[in-house]
Amino acid sequence: MWLEYFEKYLETAFPRFLEMKPWNYKDDLCVIGASYMAKATGDGKWNDYITANSRWLVGEDGKVANWNEGEHNIDKVSFGRSLRILRDLTGDDRYEKAVKKAFDFLKDYPRTETGNFWHKDIYPNQVWLDGLYMAMPFYAKTLAETGQDGWDDIVDQFLSAHRLLWDESLGLYVHGCDISRKADWADPATGRSTSVWLRAEGWYLMALADVYELAEDRTGRAGELAELLENGIEGLLKYQDKATGMFYQVVDKADFPGNYLETSGSAMAAYALMKGVRLGILHKGHGEIGSRILDGICNTYLKREEDGCHLYGICASAGLGQGPDPHNRKDRTGRPEYYVSEAQMRDNQHGTAACMMAVSEQLRRREGCSCCN
């Protein structure tokens, strides 16, 4: 059922989303997911879905959609991963030039006083877990390809994020930290946001797994990334729902009014678990846990309907602070009531793409699942 759903999604839903809105990091997730499915199955049709939609990212003139000169937005660094995949699939020089430009963004990207890339111009001096995933796997892959030195910077940014965002009492990461302590949502003493948002946890865990894979043979500090992944996984698993294996939108508050089992963050955790086992970081039992999470998502939220299969339980979006104009929202407080109030969206790219990535790991385990047929 997963494969049937993914194929129809990439044929119809993904192009529809691209037609509706300019390219953003959610679309990168779909490209990455399809690329992983191609590797896991050996079937080139998954790559065909990527190239068929490439025009939405790069025009014939080589211009990359939704890149604005002088803008600092860590989400848009993620485009570099899609551009690299397209470069490797097509050999088109437009993509190679764009990959280099994406890396150039990082060379003068603003940083907090702790050494971390800040999140965006509209969120200066802020470190969000999301940003580690947007920048670090692309950064690491560029170092691996070019032989440039920068591994200490990458590892140091992960360690800094851990110090800034880890809540020892919960064994979990909060969503963000404002180093300047100026944001309304920031604790005046620590700068931290209040709550544990599941997808933020997922971003961080996936980033650790992806970067470790590249760092393992290239820096003696890769073990520090492995320790962070082990630590983060063990903390998260304490909050796993027994019936489904999934996790809640606000991880540590299962009984909070309106809280729900959320698809995208659960799939990200499943991916990190199974990939962590494949890379030799986590013990074999963690792979079985990851596979069970994915089965739980399938059984709970993947529904066959008259017009095909659809995936539910996906948080459409969440953030901290007012957000970009013209919205200027006042409700993004970082508190539990905010996270559970954000809309859920059927077939949202965050959820579908994360499930593609997790299914690719499940297929590589050669165990399959009841929903993979």
Q: How many CA atoms lie within 13 A of 320 on its CB side?
A: 33
When divided into structural domains, the chain yields a total of 1
> What are the φ/ψ torsions at residue 366 (nearest 5 degrees)?
60, 30
Cite the DSSP H helix spans in 260-343.
263-278, 284-301, 336-341
Q: Residue 9 belongs to what domain range?
A: 2-364
Q: Is residue 237 part of a domain?
A: yes
- What is the model's pLDDT at position 371? 53
- What is the model's pLDDT at position 368? 45
Nearest to 349 by CA among 311, 308, 301, 293: 311
Q: Is residue 370 part of a domain?
A: no
> Bridge partners of 309?
304
Q: What token pair was written down for 292?
A: 């069970």
Q: Is residue 272 part of a domain?
A: yes
> What are the φ/ψ torsions at residue 10 (nearest 5 degrees)?
-70, -25
Nearest to 14 by CA among 58, 49, 64: 49
The residue type at 111: R
- What is the model's pLDDT at position 322? 84
53, with CB counted inside 10 A (0-12, 13-18, 19+), is buried
Vertex 372 angle, CA 371 and 373, to 5°? 95
Q: Is residue 358 part of a domain?
A: yes
- Residue tagged 């990851």 (tokens): 290
Nearest to 27 by CA among 4, 43, 45, 49: 49
Q: Is residue 369 part of a domain?
A: no
> Bridge partners of 172?
167
Q: Is residue 110 part of a domain?
A: yes
Helix (H, G, I), strand (E, B) or coil at 276: helix
- What is the model's pLDDT at position 324? 65
Full pLDDT tens readout for the chain, 373 residues:
999 999 999 999 999 999 999 999 999 999 999 999 999 999 999 999 999 999 999 999 999 999 999 999 999 999 999 999 999 999 999 999 999 999 999 999 999 999 999 999 999 999 999 999 999 999 999 999 999 999 999 999 999 999 999 999 999 999 999 999 999 999 999 999 999 999 999 999 999 999 999 999 999 999 999 999 999 999 999 999 999 999 999 999 999 999 999 999 999 999 999 999 999 999 999 999 999 999 999 999 999 999 999 999 999 999 999 876 666 788 999 999 999 999 999 999 999 999 999 999 999 987 544 455 4
Pairwise CA distance, residues 82 & 92, whole Å: 13
Q: How many CA atoms lie within 13 A of 166 on its CB side?
A: 16
- What is the model's pLDDT at position 370? 46
| Beta strands 172-173 and 302-305, pairing class | unpaired
Pairwise CA distance, residues 225 & 229, whole Å: 6
Q: Is residue 372 part of a domain?
A: no
User: Residue 339 maps to which CATH number?
Assistant: 1.50.10.10
Torsion sign, CA atoms 79, 127, 116, 282: negative
Instruction: Measure Cα distances from 135 to 131, 159, 258 in Å.
Output: 6, 15, 32
- What is the model's pLDDT at position 372? 53
